[in-house]
């Protein structure tokens, strides 16, 4: 889990368009969430260890690349969001990319970021299922 703030605002939109698109999330002072990050890996189970990936290594990678970078920050100020609106959809995509580039073993199947109990976004590795899913 990580706690972070953000302001949903696009320089490509007018102030009125931003208010319509993002509503109260366009508040100039921002707002925060307690995000839950779920990582799903898949692949062959190593016969010697009985694991697809060492969970200690996975937890350390998520902590180092995601939690330490984004926890208690303003997402708008992170360079990865310099030209991207820090929506939860984009956060999910960015987290997926960071992990996919850096996992040593196993295959990253998906990343799910829960913003509230009512919505989450999920990125998948399979090209036919790539993208975000809201529920």
Is 91 a domain residue?
yes
Is 85 a domain residue?
yes
Mean pLDDT of the chain: 91
Residue 114 catalytic?
no
DSSP β-bridge partners for residue 74: 5
Of the residues 6, 9, 115, 123, only one is catalytic, namely 115
CATH number at residue 118: 3.30.479.10
Residue 101 catalytic?
no
pLDDT band at 129 (very low <50, low <70, confident <90, very high): very low
Is 135 a domain residue?
no
Is 24 a domain residue?
no
Has residue 103 got a pLDDT over 90? no
Number of domains in the chain: 1
Check residue 127 and give its pLDDT: 53
Is 50 a domain residue?
yes
What dihedral angle (degrees, nearest 10) is formed by the CA atoms of 19, 26, 115, 112?
A: 80
Residue entry with tokens 């189970």: 45
Q: Is the pTM of this model over 0.85?
A: yes
* CA pair distance 75, 16, nearest whole angstrom: 23
pLDDT tens digits for range 57-87: 999 999 999 999 999 999 999 999 999 999 9
The whole domain housing 110 covers 34-129
Is 40 a domain residue?
yes
Of the residues 17, 31, 46, 72, only one is catalytic, namely 72
Check residue 132 and give its pLDDT: 46
* CA pair distance 15, 25, nearest whole angstrom: 13
Residue 72 catalytic?
yes
């Amino acid at each position: 889990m990580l706690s972070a703030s953000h302001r949903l605002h696009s320089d490509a939109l007018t102030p009125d368009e931003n208010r319509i698109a993002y509503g109260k999330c366009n508040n100039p002072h921002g707002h925060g969430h307690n995000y839950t990050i779920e990582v799903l890996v898949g692949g062959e189970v190593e016969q010697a260890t009985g694991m697809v990936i060492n969970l200690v290594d996975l937890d350390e990678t998520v902590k180092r690349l995601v939690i330490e970078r984004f926890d208690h920050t303003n997402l708008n100020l992170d360079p990865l969001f310099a030209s991207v609106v820090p929506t939860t959809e984009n956060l999910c995509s960015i987290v997926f990319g960071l992990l996919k580039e850096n996992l040593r073993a196993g295959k990253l199947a998906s990343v799910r970021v829960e913003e509230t109990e009512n919505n989450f976004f999920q990125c998948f590795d399979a090209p036919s299922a790539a993208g975000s899913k809201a529920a």
